């Protein structure tokens, strides 16, 4: 039976209450009577039945804990201390892949114990020592390797937890687990781990302090524990406990480790002050950045465990200069480009603020002001109006401070609140006589988000969210968005979720909603989704969105094999249909997509995909003007990948599509090389093209007619990444990108009706709307964790950019390199140094 300390599965009454309170949406499919038992439903038992139904499903297995003296253990990767001898072995692991539920090919001995300071794990991995793969890698930058992993559900709630891992070389990774099945590896916790090769294979030890594991102290705690071993040879995965195939679970798979007494996470107070310096070694002569070339800075981060389940984080004057830079891109479309979050403060506990709609996009906080944010003024000189030019703009929007409160305030009640304040930014304008004046760009701004969820079991909950942006300027209105959502997991196989939101951007209000129903089986997965946003719905001030004014529905079916078939390790396929319309009745989506993948036992993988859409309306290509009917479009492609567990691996692929008979071929190549165990290198290259397809380029001032042009769009991209792991705590990473993109336009049209392009003269458009971008970006970061939780960062960034916006832009392959040395290319070099020290109390 499940441990008494864990929440009971939700009853039908609770499910009905959650549904009614949220939206009162029906769940007929999920609540239907049980289907006849078949191969696909052999494990579909009601949630009130005993959980452990198969040998590998050990949820509900309770193992008494073992305690020893912390001083008796040294974390060196060799568990040969006498204190380990009386600690009983955990049950033998079971193979999860490639043979689901099969006996492992290698034996693994695992022991777990605890002391006053934290949790201890010891692994003895039996294997031919010559076959052990033990590369060094930077923390959290996983590469093909033998690994052992521990997963800890510190509150025993089957919902949130932590993951820690180590390789035979001592390389480590860690992350947060949330909502049972999700993982965030960019979170960094304080722990110790070591690995070592041995005559029997290899061994490892992991120590996790109680202070790292947020939990509510009890007279006798019960925590969830699961372990995993990844064997690089054959890409085998063995786990202590896991659920039947097709059932979504991870944290809830853990066994109960019981009767943990006399533990305390301490004051749960961490203070991490830092000092940093930013040095502009080179700037373009016409750079808008007029800040000091040497900028010192200082601040601190504070983490306080108010209770075992509730944590307060403060960041005062944070500096995120050690975060990796974004890749360059030439954006010719109507939507902004999404860039993932890379700053540690905003990564931690970010899952609490995630919903179906991306209402909180943390990259908004501290985003650099755009040149358009500072509007130069004009003046009258000798009776004539003179417009000033913008010659300066603050390079960043400084985050003055941020506070975050996350955790559990009562059993099942999870809360999150984040507030950040960014300082004002300014531009500098200049008149013809050389006089200069500061002009405002972005005002002082407060960014706020609050979230609450009530969990009835790991994947059944109801919640709400509110976001708000407040700007200290009447010329910049604020924005507010709110919504409620829920998710219901029923009978292990069915999942239903929904969300409804309301938005107000300071001028207009809108609404949105989405709902989904998913059926997961051992060999199939079926989904049905629908979504809408009204024409004035807008949550882009705090969130991320690309479009509104739509109602869409999609359904898809995925199939896959449950066990290897001969030499086929995995065979899967998927097909999905999407239809959509605007609120005015224009059909905006009529799409079909399918992909198939085959992987052999030797880990060769072949993927093929195809899709297309019938003629459909695009409401956004003309930037708010009349819709454009996009012609029939189809595409297909493939990718072939070599075994990923080798020192050299790669993939080659291509795609070809046509829009109304106009081609668009693509090719791509990826290569990963590990010449020595401490060095990882990867190279990726791609060429994406479109020929003779019409696209919007301008709007005529006289009559506001949208102007289109047939274009040749060619994008060449080369990425090179290097990681040198000098030690498990000292590493050097380097990201390098060379981008060459051109957009040449030759035949011009005006859009008289959604499906009618009328040819016009080339003048005045020819040679004025072409675009080109050549960019070289290099970002190298030295990271040294000189003490647990204390870091030294040294980052160097170089950028060379040549933008072509005048004249005819032709694609010439040699210009990918020669443009970098052009006289009008812009060069920038920045050196950043940051030292942080962790005080733990």
In the chain the first and final C-alpha atoms are separated, in Å, by 38
Beta-strand pair 662-663/648-659 = antiparallel
- Give bridge partners of residue 417 from the DSSP assignment: 405, 450
Q: For residue 307, what pLDDT is reported? A: 84
User: Could you write out the three-class secondary structure of 399-453?
Assistant: EEEEEEEEEEEECCEEEEEEEEEECCCEEEEECCCCCEEEEECCCCEEEEEEEEE
Where does 193-350 have alpha helices with state H? 344-347
Q: For 7-40, b where at least 16 C-beta lie within 10 A, e where not — what string? A: bebbeeebbeebbeebbebebeebbeeeeeeeeb
- Give the residue from 367, 373, 359 showing the smallest Cα distance to 537: 359
Backbone angles phi, psi at 15, to 5 degrees: -60, -45
Q: For 640-676, b where at least 16 C-beta lie within 10 A, e where not — what string? A: ebbbbbeeebbbebbbebbbeeeebbbebebbbebee
Both tokens of residue 289?
A: 């950045």
Backbone angles phi, psi at 816, to 5 degrees: -60, -30
Measured distance CA(134)–CA(137) in Å, rounded: 9
Q: Torsion angle, CA of 138/142/146/147, rounded to 10 degrees?
A: 90
Q: Give Cα separations from 494 to 27, 354, 519 (angstroms).
A: 10, 21, 5
Residues in the chain: 841
Measured distance CA(111)–CA(86) in Å, rounded: 10
| Cβ–Cβ under 8 Å, residues 733 and 292 | no
Measured distance CA(512)–CA(626) in Å, rounded: 23
| Cβ–Cβ under 8 Å, residues 155 and 178 | no
Q: For residue 55, what pLDDT is reported? A: 57
| Cβ–Cβ under 8 Å, residues 510 and 534 | yes
Give the mean pLDDT per block of 10 residues along the chain (841 residues): 37 36 37 35 31 59 91 95 95 93 95 95 96 89 92 89 95 90 84 96 96 83 95 94 84 92 81 96 84 92 88 94 91 92 89 95 92 79 84 88 94 94 92 86 95 92 98 90 96 93 96 97 95 97 96 97 92 97 96 97 97 96 95 97 94 96 95 93 97 95 94 97 91 97 96 96 91 97 93 97 92 94 93 94 68
Q: For residue 56, what pLDDT is reported? A: 67
| Cβ–Cβ under 8 Å, residues 493 and 517 | no
Measured distance CA(421)–CA(469) in Å, rounded: 10
Q: Give Cα separations from 408 to 183, 309, 496 (angstroms).
A: 19, 5, 24
Residue with tokens 């949406």: 25
Measured distance CA(666)–CA(342) in Å, rounded: 29
Please, is 304 exposed, middle or buried when counting C-beta atoms within 10 Å of its C-beta (0-12, 13-18, 19+)?
middle
Measured distance CA(334)–CA(320) in Å, rounded: 29
| Cβ–Cβ under 8 Å, residues 205 and 87 | no
Q: Give Cα separations from 347 to 320, 354, 467, 486 (angstroms).
A: 12, 11, 18, 23
| Cβ–Cβ under 8 Å, residues 101 and 243 | no
Beta-strand pair 310-316/378-381 = unpaired
| Cβ–Cβ under 8 Å, residues 118 and 212 | yes
SS3 157: coil
Residues 6+ apart with CB under 8 A from 566: none
Both tokens of residue 803?
A: 């933008």
| Cβ–Cβ under 8 Å, residues 152 and 213 | yes
Residue 823 CB coordination number (10 Å)? 5
Measured distance CA(143)–CA(196) in Å, rounded: 18
SS3 475: coil
Sequential DSSP letters for 369-402: PPGGGS---EEEETTEEEE-EEEEE-SS--EEEE
Q: For residue 39, what pLDDT is reported? A: 33
Sequential DSSP letters for 260-281: E-S---TT-EEEEEEEEEEEEE
Tell me the domains of the chain and their CATH numbers.
51-260 (2.60.40.1190)
Measured distance CA(627)–CA(659) in Å, rounded: 17
The CB-side HSE value for 203 (13 A sphere, CA atoms) comes to: 15
Q: What is the DSSP letter of 607?
A: E
Q: For residue 780, what pLDDT is reported? A: 97
| Cβ–Cβ under 8 Å, residues 290 and 438 | no
| Cβ–Cβ under 8 Å, residues 105 and 234 | yes
Residue with tokens 């609140």: 417
Number of helices (H), then strands (E), belonging to the chain: the values are 3, 47
Task: Determine the Cα angle at 600 with ends 599 and 602, to 5°.
Answer: 125
- Rounded to two decimals, the pTM is 0.86
Measured distance CA(183)–CA(162) in Å, rounded: 9
Residue 442 CB coordination number (10 Å)? 22
Q: For residue 375, what pLDDT is reported? A: 78
Both tokens of residue 822?
A: 């052009």
Sequential DSSP letters for 639-706: EEE--TTSSEEEEEEEEEEEETTEE--EEEEEEEEEEETTEEEEEEEEEEEEEEEEEEEEE-TTT--E
Measured distance CA(194)–CA(122) in Å, rounded: 10
């Amino acid at each position: 039976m499940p441990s008494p300390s864990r929440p009971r599965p939700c009853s039908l009454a609770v499910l009905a209450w959650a549904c009614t309170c949220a939206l009162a949406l029906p769940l007929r499919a999920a609540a239907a009577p049980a289907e006849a038992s078949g191969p696909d439903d052999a494990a579909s038992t009601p949630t009130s039945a005993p959980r452990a139904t198969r040998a590998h499903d050990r949820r509900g297995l309770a193992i008494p804990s073992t305690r020893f003296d912390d001083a008796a253990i040294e974390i060196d990767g060799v568990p040969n201390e006498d204190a380990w001898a009386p600690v009983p072995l955990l049950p033998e692991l079971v193979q999860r892949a490639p043979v689901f539920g099969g006996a492992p090919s290698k034996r693994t001995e695992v022991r777990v114990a605890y002391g006053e300071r934290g949790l201890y794990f010891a692994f003895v991995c039996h294997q031919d020592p010559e076959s052990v793969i033990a590369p060094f890698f930077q923390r959290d930058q996983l590469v093909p390797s033998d690994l052992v992993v521990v997963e800890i559900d510190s509150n025993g709630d089957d919902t949130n937890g932590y993951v820690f891992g180590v390789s035979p070389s001592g390389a480590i990774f860690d992350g947060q687990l949330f909502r049972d099945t999700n993982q965030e590896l960019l979170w960094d916790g304080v722990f110790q781990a070591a690995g070592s090769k041995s005559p029997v294979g290899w061994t490892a030890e992991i120590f996790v302090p109680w202070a790292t594991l947020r939990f509510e102290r009890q007279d006798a705690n019960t925590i969830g524990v699961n372990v995993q071993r990844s064997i690089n040879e054959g890409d085998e995965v063995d786990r202590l406990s896991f659920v039947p195939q097709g059932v979504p679970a991870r944290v809830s798979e853990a066994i109960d480790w019981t009767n943990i007494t006399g533990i305390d996470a301490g004051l749960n107070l961490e203070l991490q002050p830092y000092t940093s310096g930013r040095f502009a070694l080179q700037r373009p002569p016409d750079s808008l950045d007029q800040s000091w070339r040497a900028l010192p800075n200082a601040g601190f981060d504070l983490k306080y465990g108010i209770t075992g389940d509730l944590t307060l984080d403060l960041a005062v004057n944070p500096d995120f200069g050690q975060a990796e830079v974004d890749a360059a891109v030439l954006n010719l479309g109507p939507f902004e480009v999404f860039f993932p979050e890379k700053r540690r403060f905003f990564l931690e506990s970010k899952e609490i603020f995630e919903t179906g709609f991306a209402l909180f996009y943390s990259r908004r906080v501290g985003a650099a002001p755009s040149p358009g944010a500072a509007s130069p003024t004009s003046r009258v000189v000798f009776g004539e109006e003179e417009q000033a030019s913008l010659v300066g703009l603050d390079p960043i929007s400084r985050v003055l401070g941020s506070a975050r409160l996350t955790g559990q305030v009562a059993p099942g009640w999870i809360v999150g609140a984040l507030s950040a304040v960014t300082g004002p930014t300014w531009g500098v304008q200049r008149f013809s006589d050389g006089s200069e004046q500061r002009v405002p760009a972005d005002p002082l701004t407060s960014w706020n988000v609050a979230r609450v969820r009530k969990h009835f079991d790991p994947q059944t909950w109801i919640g709400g969210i509110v976001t708000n942006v407040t700007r200290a300027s009447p010329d910049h209105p604020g924005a507010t968005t709110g919504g409620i959502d829920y998710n219901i997991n029923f009978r292990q196989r069915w999942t239903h979720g929904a969300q409804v939101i309301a938005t107000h951007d300071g001028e207009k209000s809108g609404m949105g909603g989405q709902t989904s129903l998913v059926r997961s089986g051992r060999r199939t997965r079926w989904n049905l989704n629908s979504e809408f946003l009204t024409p004035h719905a807008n949550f882009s001030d705090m969130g991320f969105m690309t479009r509104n004014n739509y109602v869409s529905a999609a359904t898809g079916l995925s199939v896959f094999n449950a066990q290897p078939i001969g030499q086929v390790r995995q065979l899967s396929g998927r097909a999905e249909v999407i239809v959509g319309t605007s609120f005015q009745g224009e059909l905006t989506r009529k799409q079909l997509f399918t992909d198939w993948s085959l992987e052999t036992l030797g880990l060769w993988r072949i993927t093929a995909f195809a899709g297309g859409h019938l003629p459909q309306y695009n409401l956004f290509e003309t930037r708010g003007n009349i819709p454009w009917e996009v012609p029939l479009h189809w595409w297909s492609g493939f990718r072939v990948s070599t075994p990923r567990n080798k020192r050299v691996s790669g993939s080659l692929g291509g795609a070809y599509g046509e829009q109304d008979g106009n081609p668009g071929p693509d090719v791509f190549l990826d290569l990963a090389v590990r010449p020595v165990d401490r060095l990882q290198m990867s190279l990726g290259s791609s060429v994406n093209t479109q020929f003779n397809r019409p696209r919007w380029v301008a709007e005529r001032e006289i009559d506001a007619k949208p102007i289109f042009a047939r274009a040749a769009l060619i994008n060449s991209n080369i990425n090179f990444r290097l990681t040198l792991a000098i030690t498990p705590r000292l590493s050097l990473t380097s990201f390098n990108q060379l981008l060459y993109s051109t957009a040449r336009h030759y035949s011009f049209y005006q859009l008289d009706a959604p499906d009618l392009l009328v040819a016009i003269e080339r003048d005045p458009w020819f040679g004025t709307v072409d675009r080109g971008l050549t960019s070289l970006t290099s970002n190298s970061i030295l990271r040294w964790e000189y003490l647990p939780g204390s870091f030294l960062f040294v980052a160097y960034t170089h950028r060379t950019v040549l933008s072509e916006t005048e004249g005819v832009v032709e694609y010439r392959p040699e210009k990918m390199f020669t443009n970098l040395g052009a006289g009008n290319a812009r060069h920038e070099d920045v050196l950043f140094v940051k030292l942080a020290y962790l005080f733990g109390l």
